[in-house]
Amino acid sequence: MTAPDVAVEHTWRTTWRGRIRRARRRPVVVAGLLAALLVAAFVLGRATATDEDVDIAATIDRRILPLIIDADGIWTSGSDDRTSVAEGLVALRHQGDASIVLMSFDQWLVAYDAILLQLAGIDLPAVARPVQRQFISAVMLSRDAVEVLGRAADATGATRTDLLVEVDRLRQRSEQLTQSARASVADLDGQRADVAPPATLPRF
């Protein structure tokens, strides 16, 4: 091989080695750019959130979220004078004991209605009303689940089983909608809230 040929081959190898090295670095560079863009988007979101948006989010935290916690308590923890919906559901499903549901059914509905009335009566700026409606719908779904639970307490056999599955579906949808509303509050505060399809509900 002549000297010119050697020089050409050396140049060719050097060029392709450089391309290979650059190609290996490219995924790292792209990943770094994506991470930088995500950070920039988060910072920009925080920077562009107006004082009014932050005030609205704070108002929701102060006036609506305590009611949502109270509504969740009707289902999960009850109170001194009221057994929780969850306890009635467990007793009916696993022991076939409908007594808790039958005794507490009206109290549960009254408690949910009181919270719904308070939620609907809160006056918020127009930009926050969709979030307010989400929370109201979430509480309403739990109330609907109690309605179905009452029907299950009066039913037997396969009909009761089907109604209890519907109770689970409504309650799960209520929880999903509550999480969606909380994410909407985070958006109002200039935070980044991910968007994803809800989990699949149980089927009959």
How far is Cα 198 from Cα 204, in angstroms, rounded to an integer? 18
Which pLDDT band holds residue 189 (cuts at 50, 70, 90)?
low
Structure confidence at residue 191 (pLDDT):
56
45-85 pLDDT, tens digit per residue, is 443 444 455 588 888 889 999 999 999 999 999 777 789 99
Structure confidence at residue 59 (pLDDT):
87
How far is Cα 49 from Cα 27, in angstroms, rounded to an integer? 33
Mean pLDDT, the chain, rounded, equals: 78
145-178 pLDDT, tens digit per residue, is 999 999 999 999 999 999 999 999 999 999 999 9
pLDDT tops 80 at residue 31: no
pLDDT tops 70 at residue 11: no
Alpha helix segments (H runs only) across the chain: 3-48, 51-63, 65-76, 85-90, 99-121, 129-154, 157-188
How far is Cα 79 from Cα 73, in angstroms, rounded to an integer? 8
124 in Cβ contact with 55 (< 8 Å): no
Percent of the chain surpassing pLDDT 90: 53
pTM score of the predicted model:
0.68
